[in-house]
Chain A
Amino acid sequence: MLPIIKNIYFIHIMKEEVRLMKGNEAVAHAAILYGCDGYFGYPITPQSEVLETLEALMPWETTGMVVLQAESEVAAINMVYGGAASGKAVMTSSSSPGISLKQEGISYIAGSELPALILNVMRGGPGLGTIQPSQADYFQATKGGGHGDYRLIVLSPSSVQEMVDFVGLGFDLSFKYRTPAMILADGIVGQMMEKVVLPPQRPRRTDEEIRRQCPWATTGRNGERKRNVVTSLELESSRMEIINHRLQARYREIERNETRWEEIGVEDADYLIVAFGSIARICAKAMEMAEEKGIKAGIIRPITLWPFPKEAVEKAARGKKGILCVELNAGQMIEDVRLAVHDSLPVEHYGRLGGIIPSPQEIVDALEEKLINNIP
């Protein structure tokens, strides 16, 4: 287990009730406790517990949160678009094939400059693929996914606690920058049960508070204000270019302010492992095993996959003998790592595909073979 996670738990245990639950269940609890206004989803393995838990908790009876099982992922993301347009804190969740279906709607939400939260509990692809864990949607999440020049704020949880924490963080960031945020979880984090501390219940914003906070929202004109129109359409090219520049300026601001990562034993290491999500925790065990063999490796775990912590990776890579990117895919994040370090040192990839999760020993072996013994 990562030392930093031990610390988080320790602090929480001191003052809060600790509960045991699945990552997907924890997201449902966290959404209610955050004061989320609406959830719109469609069942797909391995994330259906989010919708199931919400339906069982019946938050419409307590906080007034709307929960709706839509007729499709397409309908669900467009419900999110409508809810977000009216200033409400709304979210959806799905898994890889369903997230592909949502891409049109996500592009509209980004183009219309709306806040929304999307959870992807990744499974293996391509196509219908497998229901086992994967990280193969990294490109889709971080490089666009839908059409047009846009970015998502992409948060990568490595524990059930982070599944909870990133619901609040994701909503906060998406409202701060009026852009959609995605929690890019893998099937491991979604399905595994872990100790977790839930935050206190925040009240949902009143309609008046929403009108004040979101003067752009389609809440009904309600008084003398001019009408609000939420659209991503602008046929006049010169104005469409201005909109695009505004979006890009906001993305640069997010890059400056919101890049997050975690480092473990990086300073005195000879080798650097870069891994995100639950795999970073397997890498932490591998790091301990490597140390017993006299191999000093450190880990850098990107928490925001976009914005990618390129400066942190570049800094951490200085003086190292090589970098191993460990991912549950055929090599996606490694491209961002290579861009960050400009080929200044060897960067290798180790990944398992099709829903197979590597053991710590496999990662130690990969480190030795690819970086120390240079076996291609």
Chain B
Amino acid sequence: MEIEDIIKEENKVYSKPRLLDDVHMHYCPGCSHGVVHKLLAEVIDEMGLAERTVGVSPVGCAVFAYNYIDVDWVEAAHGRAPAVATALSRLWPSNVVFTYQGDGDMAAIGTAESIHAANRGENIVMIFVNNAIYGMTGGQMAPTTLIGQKTATTPYGRRVDLNGHPLEITDILARLDGTCYVTRQSVHTPASVRKTKGCIKKAFENALAKKGTSVVEIVSTCNSGWKMSPVESNEWMERNMFEKYPLGDLKNI
């Protein structure tokens, strides 16, 4: 069989999502953000929502998410994405609004906005990328940084007596009456990527059905911030992160 016989439309098993722009991403090689972006682009396109989806990008590594996924975007101030999304959703109820937030955005500076938007049951999707570190500013401690984890601001490891405990924001959000679906996933294996895609789809379906707030946490790696290779990061995440942040649905109504 010749190569020309193989390269045919009917043999195609994969293509770049149509909504993902053909540009270089600023993310580090090995970073989870690119995979999460791809999943979002696929889900929005497959659900036929490209023309009525509005994303809210955070301050953090994903600040430039608006450069990569071909939907309307509002770039929020640090931590304020859920407030911005609240207005976008309430004023344009036929649109689907999602926030894309990191751990600092969701669980430190924006804790109030995250909890209250979810508690009001805003019909939005909150995508929460938890890599336990501040990537954009150079690897400082995040609210979700593990005990003992070394960062630029915990150079000898996070200590409870100095820095307090890792904040389990997703568990808190799951306890609120306004959330309908809260899940914690990862994108470090093909199987987990496929599973996470299904979760993101379910979250968007909930927003369309006006069921309340859906939260999809994606436990992620930051090999640059963690100062490991991408492979080592995946292994470290499996060994350390999943114990503190176990994968699975926390709430599914």
Query: Which A residues between 26 and 59 are near B, CB-CB below 8 angstroms?
Result: 37-38, 40
Q: Are A75 and B54 in contact (CB under 8 A)?
A: no
A132 CB, nearest partner CB in chain B, Å: 29
Say yes or no: A81-B84 contact (C-beta < 8 A), given A37-B91, A86-B91, A90-B91: yes
Interface residues of B in 59-91 (CB under 8 A from A): 63, 66, 70-77, 80, 83-88, 90-91
- Determine the chain A residues whose CB is within 8 A of the CB of B72 once the complex forms: 218-221, 227-229
Contact A82 B74 (CB under 8 A): yes
Known A37-B91, A75-B113, A220-B92: A230·B51 in contact at CB below 8 Å: no
Interchain CB contact (< 8 A) of B84 among A78, A88, A207, A227: A78
| Residues of the B chain whose Cβ atoms lie less than 8 Å from the Cβ of A221 | 50-52, 70-72
Per-residue A-contact encoding for B37-57, CB less than 8 Å = 1, 0 else: 000000000000011111011
**Chain A 205-246 near chain B by CB (<8 Å), digits 1 or 0:** 001000000000011111100011111110000000000000
Asked if A83 CB lies within 8 Å of chain B CBs, one says yes
CA distance A221 to B57 in the complex (A): 17
Chain B residues with CB under 8 A of A78: 76-77, 80, 83-84, 87, 113
Partner of A79, one of B53, B63, B71, B84: B84
Nearest-Cβ distance from residue A210 to partner chain B, whole angstroms:
9
Q: Do A85 and B112 touch across chains, with their CB atoms under 8 A apart?
A: no
The stretch that binds B, out of A65-73, A175-183, A192-200, A341-349, is A65-73
- Whether the pair A105, B77 counts as a contact (CB closer than 8 A) is yes
Interface flag for A280 (CB, 8 Å): no
Q: Is the CB of B52 within 8 A of A75?
A: no
A 95-106 to B, binary, CB cutoff 8 A, 1 in contact else 0: 000000000110
> Out of B54, B70, B94, which one reaches A218, CB within 8 Å?
B54
CB pair B56 A82 closer than 8 Å: yes
Inter-subunit contact A108/B77 (CB<8 Å) = yes
Count chain A CB atoms within 10 A of each CB in B56, B71, B88 and give the residue with the most: B88
A72 to B88, Cβ gap below 8 A? Answer: no
B116: chain A residues within 8 A (beta carbon): 70-71, 75
Given A79-B83, A86-B54, A220-B52; A66-B75 close (CB under 8 Å): no
Q: How far is the CB of A92 from chain B (nearest CB, A)?
A: 10
Give, as a whole number of angstroms, the nearest-CB distance from A219 to chain B. Answer: 7
A173 interface hit (Cβ, 8 Å): no
Contact A68 B86 (CB under 8 A): yes
Choice from A38, A75, A207, A229 contacting B80 with Cβ under 8 Å: A75
B145 at the interface (CB under 8 A from A): no
Contact assessment for A218 and B90 in the assembled complex, using a CB-CB cutoff below 8 Å: no
Contact B88 A82 (CB under 8 A): yes
Residue in chain A with minimal CB distance to B64: A233
Q: Is B101 an interface residue (CB 8 A)?
A: no
Report the separation of the CA atoms of residues A273 and B116 in the bound assembly, to the nearest whole angstrom.
48
Are A222 and B91 in contact (CB-based, < 8 A)? Answer: no
Once the chains are docked, how many angstroms separate the CA of A232 from the CA of B55? 16
Please give, as numbers and ranges, the residues of chain A lying within 8 Å of B113 by CB-CB distance: 71, 74-75, 78
- A218–B87 CB distance below 8 A: no
Distance from A59 Cβ to chain B, minimum over Cβ atoms (Å)? 13
Find out whether the CB atom of B52 lies under 8 angstroms from the CB atom of A231: no
Q: Which residues of B contact A230 (CB under 8 A)?
A: 73-75
Report yes or no: A75 in contact with B91, Cβ–Cβ below 8 A: no
Chain A residues with Cβ under 8 A from B56's Cβ? 82
Report Cα–Cα, A85/B83, bound state, in Å. 13
Max chain B Cβ within 10 angstroms of own Cβ: one of A80, A86, A219, A221: A86
Residue of A nearest to B57 (CB): A231
Q: In whole angstroms, what is the CA distance A228 to B66 when docked?
A: 9
For B186, list chain A residues within 8 Å (CB): none
B95 within 8 A of A: yes
B87 touches A40 (CB 8 A): yes
- A214 → B minimal CB distance (Å): 12
**Binary B-proximity of A242-254 (CB < 8 A = 1, otherwise 0):** 0000000000000
Contact residues in A for B90 (Cβ distance below 8 Å): 38, 66, 68
Residues of B close to A40: CB separation below 8 A: 87
Pick the residue among B50, B57, B71, B88 that contacts A86 (CB under 8 A). B88
CB atoms of B73 and A233 under 8 A apart: no
Q: Report the bound CA distance from A260 to B76 in whole Å.
A: 34
Which of chain B's residues 96-131 have a Cβ closer than 8 Å to chain A? 112-113, 116
Residues in chain B near residue A105, CB distance under 8 A: 77, 80
Closest Cβ of chain A: how far from B10's Cβ, in Å?
A: 29
Contact across chains for B75 and A80 when beta carbons are under 8 A apart: no
B78 to chain A, nearest CB (A): 9
Shortest Cβ distance from B180 into chain A, in angstroms?
20
Whether A220 lies near B95 (C-beta < 8 A) is: yes
Q: How far is the CB of A100 from chain B (nearest CB, A)?
A: 15
The one of A71, A104, A220 in contact with B112, judged by C-beta atoms closer than 8 angstroms, is: A71
Q: Known contacts A78-B113, A108-B77, A221-B72: does B84 contact A231 (CB below 8 Å)?
A: no
Listed A/B pairs (27) with beta-carbon separation below 8 Å: A66-B90, A68-B87, A70-B116, A71-B113, A71-B116, A74-B80, A79-B83, A79-B86, A81-B74, A81-B77, A82-B84, A82-B88, A82-B91, A83-B87, A85-B74, A219-B54, A220-B51, A220-B71, A220-B72, A220-B94, A221-B51, A221-B71, A223-B51, A227-B70, A229-B73, A229-B74, A231-B75
